[in-house]
Structure 1
């Protein structure tokens, strides 16, 4: 048995005579066929382009949000940049237009005298140009007691000009300590016709040896130091004694001696023992003995300050229990 062949031309020719449901079914079929062909030919590529536009839209919206946030903080960032620019300009104005090395050497010598240290040598090295300034390095070697050296280095940071200290090396030099360091001062790269404006320098670190132990001495040999206070100038025309040419840290108290009502302190420096009484002088800072006790000797030292005046400070040498 064979199925009858479907004659499509005859079928469509007679479609006008079909009942209404058949016509509707045929119309839906033709419409679906047209939609499938249109989808394949046109709509698929358009839909892909639409998806690409949607992704791009999301990216642009994200960038817009980021730029809007940046714009909202632009004024604050501008104020911050201007403040930083003014600060850099102010720092550059603090730098001198010339090297001013002679004046700096005078300041270093003055600070050394004020703090009781000896300047062994200063070597001025070649200048090192930078982008905004020029460095002037100097190799400095000083000798003195631990607290004196610390106070000297701290005083360098309080100078009106900018001075930094680097490559610090500390070692023994007999009974004293020797400090070698690289100090740098700075100046502007170009000469400015505008005078330097007044500025408020940063608060320098002031070294106060009170209650600070010298790590290079045993606890029983510590020297008590306190900051100086204003005082009258000493008699600079007075002949200086032999013991005033030696650093006070070179002396060790080894005992006391009494002759009647007069008390003497016995101080040893190297292999020699010296005898002092109240009123005698000791050390380079016009140190005068004010009191002698069994376990200590008390002095008052006078030294110049940074303003041309004089300061005084008490100093105590304790008995060397190992003597």
Structure 2
């Protein structure tokens, strides 16, 4: 039967003189210490790396699922984009060309006359490029505002506004102000009649050059 080994009584300098049980016991202890240290310095680091890789795997799986869903709806999105582009081009065709602007002003006069209104004034204001809120985007539509003043009764002005909405080209009435004339009980309409013109390729190119400069 092997005797208990007193490690404190062992002199490392005379270890080679010790018996086999002592030498094997010390060797076993050293191996255990090495394995424990190896676990903390090697395996614990590998476990942390493995946890990170598992987390990255879950993220990649989620990204893949999202991309797969987007790819499955790609045809639908393309169809929607084509529909939007078609609607946009249809709206562009409703915008007057530069040559049609004088005729459009004439149509406003005709709408006023037809409804018994007095067109007191039509004054053009400074043209403005339509702002989309994104300064990096090219503006392809220009707003052409006209300050108009009309005089008549309420029914005449209401019908005039309805007729403007039926014009062949897009015209909107903004900044509307109605004032009552106490002398003859008529109304004076002050408004901004906006029409919109599609910019030509040359105007869009000039706009791009201005942004670069």
TM-score normalized by the length of structure 2: 0.72
Cα gap change, 1:125 to 1:12, in 2 (>3 Å): same
Cα gap change, 1:144 to 1:30, in 2 (>3 Å): same
- Any residues of structure 2 matched to 1:229-268 within 5 Å, and which? none
Match of 2:199 in 1: 189
Deviation at 1:40, TM superposition (A): 3.3
Deviation at 1:45, TM superposition (A): 2.1
Q: Does structure 1 retain, via aligned residues, the 8 Å contact 2:5–2:22?
A: no
Q: Which 5+ residue runs of structure 1 have no aligned equivalent?
A: 17-22, 193-323
Deviation at 1:34, TM superposition (A): 4.9
Match of 1:13 in 2: 20
Cα deviation per residue 1:106-160 (whole Å; 9 max; x = unaligned)? 2122222221212122222333344112222111111111111100111011000
Q: Does structure 1 retain, via aligned residues, the 8 Å contact 2:123–2:148?
A: yes
Q: Does structure 1 retain, via aligned residues, the 8 Å contact 2:144–2:194?
A: yes
Selected match of 1:143 from 116, 140, 151: 151
| Higher CA-based Rg | 1
Cα gap change, 1:76 to 1:5, in 2 (>3 Å): closer
Q: Does structure 2 retain, via aligned residues, the 8 Å contact 1:146–1:177?
A: yes
Cα deviation per residue 1:51-94 (whole Å; 9 max; x = unaligned)? 22122212222222222222222222222122112211221122
- Tell me how far apart the structure 2 counterparts of residues 5 and 104 of structure 1 sit (CA, whole Å): 113
Deviation at 1:29, TM superposition (A): 6.2
- Tell me how far apart the structure 1 counterparts of residues 192 and 54 of structure 2 sit (CA, whole Å): 65
Match of 2:207 in 1: none
Cα deviation per residue 1:205-251 (whole Å; 9 max; x = unaligned)? xxxxxxxxxxxxxxxxxxxxxxxxxxxxxxxxxxxxxxxxxxxxxxx
Higher helix share: 2
Match of 2:206 in 1: none
- Tell me how far apart the structure 2 counterparts of residues 190 and 115 of structure 1 sit (CA, whole Å): 35
**RMSD of equivalent CA atoms:** 3.0
Which secondary structure does the structure 1 equivalent of 2:98 belong to?
Answer: coil
Q: Which has the higher contact order (CA 8 A, sep 6+)?
A: 2
Match of 2:89 in 1: 89
Match of 1:153 in 2: 161
Match of 1:113 in 2: 113
Q: Does structure 2 retain, via aligned residues, the 8 Å contact 1:117–1:144?
A: yes
Cα gap change, 1:47 to 1:126, in 2 (>3 Å): closer
Cα gap change, 1:105 to 1:50, in 2 (>3 Å): closer
TM-score normalized by the length of structure 1: 0.49
> How many residues are matched?
182
- Tell me how far apart the structure 2 counterparts of residues 136 and 183 of structure 1 sit (CA, whole Å): 8
Q: Residue 163 in 1 paired to residue 171 in 2? A: yes
Higher strand share: 1
Which secondary structure does the structure 1 equivalent of 2:84 belong to?
Answer: helix
